[in-house]
Structure 1
C-alpha cells in the first residue's frame, strides 16, 4: 500500500471513530427530539389541567345565579302584512305555574325517567354531556343531548337558548350552585313549569289542557309520559301535526320513558304491561288565529325558525322555535292583503260555496290549498291553507303528502331540454318530436318494466310532445322520462325546487307519484316563469328583535336551467291552456282579456288530488284539492276509515270525477285574472312550442303505432278532460293518518292497473 492510500485510510478511520459514541454513552438527540419527550408531554398536559381547573375556580367565584331572564316570561309577537298593517298579535302567555304538590308523584317521575334518571343523585351536572356539548358547539354541530334536568332548567329560566361556549360554561356553574341552594323538588317544579311543550303551551298545566283538556293534577302516568317525551322535540312530536316518522319517534320515546320507570322501581312491571299510548286531543287554535290567519302565522314562524338555524342563531329547529315563541318579534310577511282576500274569495265562490256535506258525504272530504308567488321577487303574495285554521290544523298550502300527478310532466320536458336528451332512436327531444301515444305501451330502454295506461285507456297514436302535453298523455312522458334518464329528471327537478330526497328514480315517477305541496309547485313553476333563475318562495320579508338580528337571503338565485329550456317549457304550457285540459276553465274565462297564460293540470291516483299550477309573466299560483276523511267513520262494509285517510274527490259538489281542469283551474282563473293587474305577454327565448309559430317539421321518435291517429298539427282543440277513469283495483289498506297529520311523503302507493312487471306503476293520471 502506498503512502497516499495509507493516509486516506487513516483519515477515513478517524472520521468513523469520531462518529461512534464512546463506550456507555447515549446518542445525541437532533431536531425536535431535543425538546419533546414523554416528560415534557406529561408536564404540558398537567399544566393545561391545572390551568383549566384554576380558570374554572375563578369562573365559579365570579358567576352568580342571576334573576330569571326575559325569555322565561314570553312577550308578544306582532305580524304584519306587506303594507305594514297588522295581521295578528300573539296574546297573553299561555302559562300557569303550579306547585309540585299539584302534579301526581308518578307523573313527576315520568319527567325524570325521560330526561335524567340520575336526577335525584347527581350534583346537577353531567360533566361528560357538558364536555360533549362544548366540543359540538366548537365544531358547529349543535347540541347532542346529555344535559341534566337542572341544566335544562337553568337554560330555560336563567340563560338563553344560544349555543355558545360562554353560555355552556355559565350553565355548568349555575347548575352546580343551584343544586346546592335548592331542593330537587324545587328544581323539578321549575323545570316542568318553564319548559315549552308546543301548542303555545308553557308549563305542565297549560300543556295538560292543550293536549288532554284537563288539569295537571288529573294526568295519568301514560299522559304524563307523553308530555315528558314531548319536551325533546315539541314541534316534531305533537301528535296532531306529526309526520309518520314523528309519531314513530315519540311513541318510541314514550316506551323508553315508561321502561325506565320500571327499571328505577317507580312503576310496577305488571301495570306497565297494560298501558296504551294516550293519543292527545286535536289542537285548538289560539284566539285571533281564525280563518287564514293561523296558517299565515304558523308559516311565518316556521320560516323564521329555519332562518335562525341557517344563520347559526340556534342549533336546531326546536331551539329556534323556542326563540320565536319566546316573543318580542315584529315579523313582516310578504303577503299582499288585497291578493290574500282575492284568493280567499275565489276559493269560496268557485268551490267551498258549492259544497254541502249534509247532502253529500264526499263534500266534507274536500280540502283546498293554494299558494301565489311573484316570480320576479320570490315573494309569497297570497296563501290559502284551508277553510279555517280552527277546523283543519294542517296548512294545505304547505303539506306534502299528496301526489302532484301530471303537474310533474313539465319537469320531465324541462330535463329533456336542459340535458339535450335524445330519444331511443337518437332524435333530439323538442316540442315537435313525435312519440307513440298508445295507451299501455311498454317503455323502451328501461330495466324496469313499465306500461302506463292513458286516462280512460285512450290511444292517441303518433303525437308531438306539444300535443302530448296538451292532452297529458301518460305513455309519452313515461317514455320521455326513460329517454332522459330518471336520475337526470330528478336532478333537474331538484334544481328547480322540488324536494326529491328519498324519491326513487323509477319510471313510475313520471306520473308525479312523489309528494309535493302547492307552495313547492308554485316555486318550481316560478323558476320556469323566471327564465330558469331559481325562485325560492319567501313568506317572510323581515323579522326584527331587539336582541337578535336576522337577515333573509334573496329569494331569487342563479340560473339552474338554461333560459331556452325554461322558456320552451313555458311556450309549450300555453298550449295546455289554449288547446288542452285547462281550456274551458282558463282560456275561456270571461275576464281573461286575452292574458297569456301557461299552466298544467294534474289529477292523481284514484282522484285523491286534483291540481292546476299556472302562471302569467308576473304571477304564479298553484291550487290543489285533496280528498281527506275529516273524522273517523265507517264505510259501507262497516270497516272503520281513520281520520286523515286519503280518499277520492269524485262526486264532490254533485259532479263526477274532479279533474285539475275543473275546480282547481276555475279557482286559479277567478283569482289570477282579478289579481294580476294589467295584461302582460311572455318574453320567451325560444322558437318552439304553442306560443311560437312552427318553424320545423316534427321529428318522429320510436316505432310509429300501427294505426296512426290524425296528424297532430291538424287535430282540433280539446274542450274538457275526460270525466271517468278505469275502475280501481286496490291492493293495500287505506292509510290511518289523522286529519292534522302533515307527513312529508305521500300516504299509500298508487295501485290501479298495476302491471306485473313494475310494482311502482300507478293508475292513469292526468
Structure 2
C-alpha cells in the first residue's frame, strides 16, 4: 500500500469513529432547526389565518332582539301604568346614567376599559381552551367583547363564536367611540328579573329611574352582571346573598383602587337590600283601555308625519298620559256606585248587556283627565269610551242650534233662529222644506204646540229640531258638527233628516270634544290622552295640539252654553244640578233605548257618559229595565247620575261660566220648595239633584231620593193641563233615535221629555 492510500484509509477510519449515527423514521423531522422552522411557520400560518378571518368577518347588523324595547306608559304623576312589548328594556343615553354608576360597572367588569384595545387576548384564549376542554363558561372578556356578544352574536359557548367575538371587537373598537360602547353594553346586558338594560333593572330592583339611583344601589346592579339570578336578593340562597354582598364590596373597592371613589366615603357605605319585585303592570281593568287609546293617538301622529306605525311596535317609547289619577279614580267609583253595583246578570238577563263608557276633558287644555272604557279590558276588549257604533241621540241637538247661530239661519217664517224662536212641537209633524219625507214622533207621542227653542231644548222635542235642521240646511249642520269634532266619514254621518235626532255614530270621547268646543267659547277641542312622547330618553314625537282654531264665533258658542244651562235648571238634566258650580248639558236616549247619554260641563271640565246595550256578538239591544229600573233607561237616569257623582268630586276651578251672549237670560234654577206638610197639587216628574259621595249616599236608580213630601206614582197622578201625562211607564215606541229623559221615583220619567 502506498503512502497516499494509507493516509486515506486512516482518515476514513477516524471519520467513521466520530460521526453520529444517521437518524431514521419520524426522528428525522424533529431537529431543533426544523422545530424552530415549524414554530415560525405555525405563527405565520396563524397570523395569515387571522388576517384572512379579519378581512372575511364583517361587523354584522345588530340583533333584532337588542333593538326591541318595551313601551312605558305613565300617568301624569309619574306612576308607571303599563309596559308593553316582548322585551322589558328601555334604552337611555349615557348622560342619563350617573357617572358614579358608570364607574361602578367599569370597575366591576373591566377596570381598564377606557385604555384597553377592546379585547383581552389572554382571557379569550383561556376561554377557547376551556371550551375545547369542556370546562364550561369562562370569564375574561372586556366590556367591548361583552357588548359585541350582546349586540351582534349569540350566547352559545363555541370556539367559532369566541373567535368572531374577538375579531368583531377589534373592528368595533376602531369604529365606535368608547362612550357609545359603554352605553350599548349598559343598555343590552341582562340584570335578572326579566330586565334588559340598566334602566329596566333600576325599575325592577328599586322602582325608580336610573338617574335617581344612589351609588350603593348602582353598585348592586353592577354586581348583578356577574350572576343575575344567583345574586337576586329575593330568590338568592344564603350563599347567594353572601356572594352578592362580597361582589358589591368588590365593586366599591375597585372604585377606590381606580380613584373613582374616596376611601373615607367608601368606609361609610352600607349595603342596602333591594326591593322585592312588583308584579308586571298588566292590561287588566282600565289599563288596557288607556294604553290602546294612547296607541291609536300615537299611530295617527306617526301617519300624519309620514312614518310607519311599526315605529311604535319597535319599542323604546315612554308615553306620558294626561290622566289625573285622582279624577280617574273618582270616575271609576262613580260608575261602580251608580251602575255596576246595581247590576245582577243572574236575576236580570238585560244586566249582562249593560256597558258604560265615559270621557272627561279639561276644556282649557283639551287633555283627557279621566277615561272609562268598561269594567275590565281583559273581559271586554271594545273601548266604550272610543267606540262609535251607537247613536248619540239628543245630545246632538245642541250642535244643530250651534249651526243655526253660526250660519245665521232663519225659520220657515223668515225669522232668525235664536233661543226665543217659536217652533211647532206637534208630534209626528211632517218636516217642511226637505227632500225626504220625515215626521218624527216625540217621546210618548206627546204634542206641545208652539214652543220656543229654549223649551224645545229643555224638553228635547224631536219635531222642533227636525224642522230646525232642515231650516239650517243638513249640509251646513253636518259641516258645523264635523268642525266641532264629529266623525264625518261617509256611512257614519249621512245627510238625512233623521240626523237631527242623532242617528249617526259617535263615541263619548268625540261628544266630549264637541261639548268642550262649546265650553271653550268656540275654539275647537280635540281631546288628547297623550301628553308627552319620548324615545330612548331623547327623541321626542310631536303630538297635535288639542286646542285648534276658532270654529264657532264666541258669542254663538256662549249662546249654546246659555241655552244648555236651561236644560239643567228646568229640563231633562235636573239631576246634575249643583249648588257650588254652574252646569250646562244635554241628555240623550237613542232609538229603541239601545243607548243613553249625558254630555255636560262646568266652567272647567267637560264630561260625557254613555250607556250602551250590547248583546251577544256585539248586537245592539235595548237597555230597558236594566239594574232593576222599571222601564226605559234615559239619559237623565244612569248616565246623568254617574256624571253628577263624578263631577261632584272632580269639578274644580271656576264656578260660573264667563259668557259673552246676546240671548235672553237663561231659565233660572227652580226655587227650593217651601216647608209644608201638604202634598204638592202637581205630581213631581223630575228627579232630585244627585248629591256627591262626600255629601250623601248615592241614590238608587230604582228608589226615589228622600224628599218631602213624596209624589204619588205617575199612574195615579192628576193629569196636568200641559203637557199631557205620559200614558205609561213602558218603553216608548221607536222614534228613529232621539228620545231622552230623566229617571224619577218609582221608575217614572220626566214628563213628556225626549
Instruction: Give me the TM-score of the superposition, normalised by structure 2.
Output: 0.56
- Three-state SS of the structure 1 residue aligned to 2:333 is helix
- Three-state SS of the structure 1 residue aligned to 2:618 is coil
Aligned counterpart, 1:597: 583
The gaps in structure 2 that reach 5 residues or longer are: 1-54, 89-150, 153-279, 670-681, 688-724, 740-751
Q: Pick closer, same or farther for the CA change 1:750–1:610 going to 2, 3 Å.
A: closer
Give deviations 1:694-726, integer Å, cap 9, x for gaps. 9xxxxxxxxxxxxxxxxxxxx999626965443
1:453 aligns with 2:445: no
* Equivalences for residues 309-328 of structure 1 within 5 A: 309-312=303-306, 314=307, 319-320=308-309, 322-328=310-316
* Equivalences for residues 489-500 of structure 1 within 5 A: 489-500=477-488
Q: Pick closer, same or farther for the CA change 1:765–1:331 going to 2, 3 Å.
A: farther
Q: CA deviation at 1:86?
A: 1.6
* Equivalences for residues 664-743 of structure 1 within 5 A: 664-678=639-653, 680-688=655-663, 691=666, 719=686, 723-728=729-734
1:625 aligns with 2:611: yes
- Three-state SS of the structure 1 residue aligned to 2:549 is strand
1:298 aligns with 2:292: yes
Give deviations 1:639-678, integer Å, cap 9, x for gaps. xxxx211000001011121000000000000001110125
* Equivalences for residues 463-612 of structure 1 within 5 A: 463-502=451-490, 503-546=493-536, 548-583=539-574, 585-587=575-577, 592-612=578-598
- Three-state SS of the structure 2 residue aligned to 1:446 is coil
Distance in 2 separating the partners of 1:506 and 1:765: 23
Give deviations 1:135-172, integer Å, cap 9, x for gaps. xxxxxxxxxxxxxxxxxxxxxx99xxxxxxxxxxxxxx
Q: Pick closer, same or farther for the CA change 1:541–1:513 going to 2, 3 Å.
A: same
Aligned counterpart, 1:408: 396
Q: Pick closer, same or farther for the CA change 1:464–1:716 going to 2, 3 Å.
A: farther
Checking the alignment, whether the CA contact within 8 Å between 1:574 and 1:690 is kept in structure 2 is: no
Aligned counterpart, 2:717: none
Q: CA deviation at 1:62?
A: 14
Q: CA deviation at 1:689?
A: 5.2
Q: Pick closer, same or farther for the CA change 1:674–1:470 going to 2, 3 Å.
A: same
Distance in 1 separating the partners of 2:74 and 2:508: 23
Q: CA deviation at 1:501?
A: 1.8
- Three-state SS of the structure 1 residue aligned to 2:563 is helix
- Three-state SS of the structure 2 residue aligned to 1:479 is helix
Checking the alignment, whether the CA contact within 8 Å between 1:466 and 1:689 is kept in structure 2 is: no
Distance in 1 separating the partners of 2:586 and 2:731: 19
- Three-state SS of the structure 2 residue aligned to 1:451 is coil
Checking the alignment, whether the CA contact within 8 Å between 1:435 and 1:465 is kept in structure 2 is: yes
Distance in 1 separating the partners of 2:503 and 2:519: 24
The gaps in structure 1 that reach 5 residues or longer are: 1-60, 95-156, 159-285, 632-642, 695-714, 730-748, 753-763
Q: CA deviation at 1:308?
A: 1.3
Match for 2:74 among 61, 77, 80?
80
Give deviations 1:422-479, integer Å, cap 9, x for gaps. 0011001000001110000001111211100000000001110000000000000000
Q: Pick closer, same or farther for the CA change 1:689–1:512 going to 2, 3 Å.
A: farther
Checking the alignment, whether the CA contact within 8 Å between 1:605 and 1:750 is kept in structure 2 is: yes
Aligned counterpart, 1:661: 636
Equivalent pairs, count: 446
Q: CA deviation at 1:527?
A: 0.3
Checking the alignment, whether the CA contact within 8 Å between 1:579 and 1:717 is kept in structure 2 is: no
Distance in 1 separating the partners of 2:61 and 2:372: 44
Instruction: Give me the TM-score of the superposition, normalised by structure 1.
Output: 0.55
- Three-state SS of the structure 1 residue aligned to 2:540 is coil
Q: Pick closer, same or farther for the CA change 1:663–1:676 going to 2, 3 Å.
A: same
Distance in 2 separating the partners of 1:751 and 1:525: 18
Distance in 2 separating the partners of 1:78 and 1:367: 29
* Equivalences for residues 146-185 of structure 1 within 5 A: none
Q: CA deviation at 1:90?
A: 2.6
Give deviations 1:495-540, integer Å, cap 9, x for gaps. 1110122122111110000000000000000000000001110100
Q: Quick check: 660-669 or 718-727, which moved more?
A: 718-727
- Three-state SS of the structure 2 residue aligned to 1:499 is coil
* Equivalences for residues 377-388 of structure 1 within 5 A: 377-388=365-376
Q: CA deviation at 1:751?
A: 12
RMSD across aligned positions (CA): 3.1
